Structure 1
């Protein structure tokens, strides 16, 4: 069953209201467009038939006009021959044709009115169809945008991305620790305090004194040994 029951429903329809009530707007707008296009085909087909009927009636009116003219000429001929009775008969036939022509003329005027209304309806229907297609494009664009945003969100919240961030934080932590160790080493003067350096100097001096004493002892021992031999 169609969304619209007649042409007037389409022309007077509020597409926004229809879509607001729909659970599946994209599906409904497709159906609306299809029904509008089908109706437009029907309205144009009706207009084409009306135009064809107008042309046919025009030809019939032309033939009736010629026939009336012919009966009038016959009436004149009858009068010239003194046959008034025949002249009256000819005028009666002419009157019948004139009556038929008047009926056809009235029908032609009705067809003209229908055709003008059909042209108006086609224009309004085409306007509604353009509106519906614009709505469809807007819905499609919104759907594509929403899909893109959803894809981005899924990517951002992907566990693999979170794992990568965690690994990056661990690397940063290790770098911080290494940099801290270097900075601490620099602050300690290469790893030796002032007291340590002084202690090293004292130890070095004691060793030198002990070495000098040992040298003196060895020298004295040699001198004593040489004296004994002499």
Structure 2
């Protein structure tokens, strides 16, 4: 039957393997659930049809067995009544029904196996869906944590870049300080000895105000004041 071929792979489906191969587990688990629920609807419908076929085959087989037993009872009564021709007719009908019973038993056996396989596929599919539903939140939770960690990693990288910039700025400032110190030192070294002497003369020479004061004192003395 086509439906058995169509859903044969469901029996060997490995949901964990599908998730492991997924590039985006969060999307894959949703897709798996959609696919499995879609398949479950088809499996349920076909399983019901095959189980109904099994019941019909069993009913036909049971009716055939009842008819065989009935023909046997009628044949016995006919013999007991001395009607061998009637008994023969009943036995001929019984033989025909017995031949049909073999075919009906084979049909019922096939229908029973098909129903069992479809029921097993249905149960497997339900179990897979329940497993995915129970793991769905866990998978999505892990993906959310992973994305948060990824954002934190990028932020850490940015902070490290800022720290490197600050360190580079500090190095430039240190170089500027060194250059200023070097320039001041060169200016000190380039200062001439004449400049030093002038500074010393200015230190020990009388200031103009001091000479004026001395001259004023001498003038007062000459005037008797």
TM-score between both structures, scaled by the size of structure 2:
0.54
**In structure 2, what is the Cα distance between the partners aligned to 1:76 and 1:10?**
54
Could you say what secondary structure the match of 1:30 adopts?
Answer: helix
| 1:145–1:55 Cα change, 3 Å | same
**In structure 1, what is the Cα distance between the partners aligned to 2:80 and 2:17?**
78
Deviation string, structure 1 residues 155-198 (Cα, Å, up to 9, x no partner): 99999xx9xxxxxxxxxxxxxxxxxxxxxxxxxxxxxxxxxxxx
| 1:10–1:138 Cα change, 3 Å | farther
**In structure 2, what is the Cα distance between the partners aligned to 1:14 and 1:64?**
44
Partner of 2:196: none
**In structure 1, what is the Cα distance between the partners aligned to 2:142 and 2:136?**
10
Partner of 1:37: 37
Paired residues for 1:89-100 under 5 Å: 89-100=89-100
Task: Please state if 1:106 is matched with 2:106.
Answer: yes
Partner of 2:62: 62
Deviation for aligned residue 1:38: 2.0
TM-score between both structures, scaled by the size of structure 1:
0.53
Cα contact 1:26–1:140 (8 A) shared by 2: yes
Cα contact 1:11–1:128 (8 A) shared by 2: no
**In structure 2, what is the Cα distance between the partners aligned to 1:114 and 1:16?**
28
Paired residues for 1:1-230 under 5 Å: 6-149=6-149
Deviation for aligned residue 1:153: 7.7
Deviation for aligned residue 1:65: 2.8
| 1:108–1:12 Cα change, 3 Å | same
Cα contact 2:43–2:122 (8 A) shared by 1: yes
| 1:23–1:10 Cα change, 3 Å | same
Deviation string, structure 1 residues 104-127 (Cα, Å, up to 9, x no partner): 222222222223323332333233
Partner of 2:181: none
**In structure 2, what is the Cα distance between the partners aligned to 1:14 and 1:81?**
69
Any stretches of 5+ residues in structure 2 without a counterpart? 163-225
**Superposed CA RMSD:** 3.4
Query: Which stretch shows the higher mean deviation, 116-125 or 15-24?
Result: 15-24
Deviation for aligned residue 1:141: 0.7
**In structure 1, what is the Cα distance between the partners aligned to 2:131 and 2:66?**
51
Residue-pair matches, total: 156
Cα contact 2:78–2:87 (8 A) shared by 1: yes
Any stretches of 5+ residues in structure 1 without a counterpart? 163-230
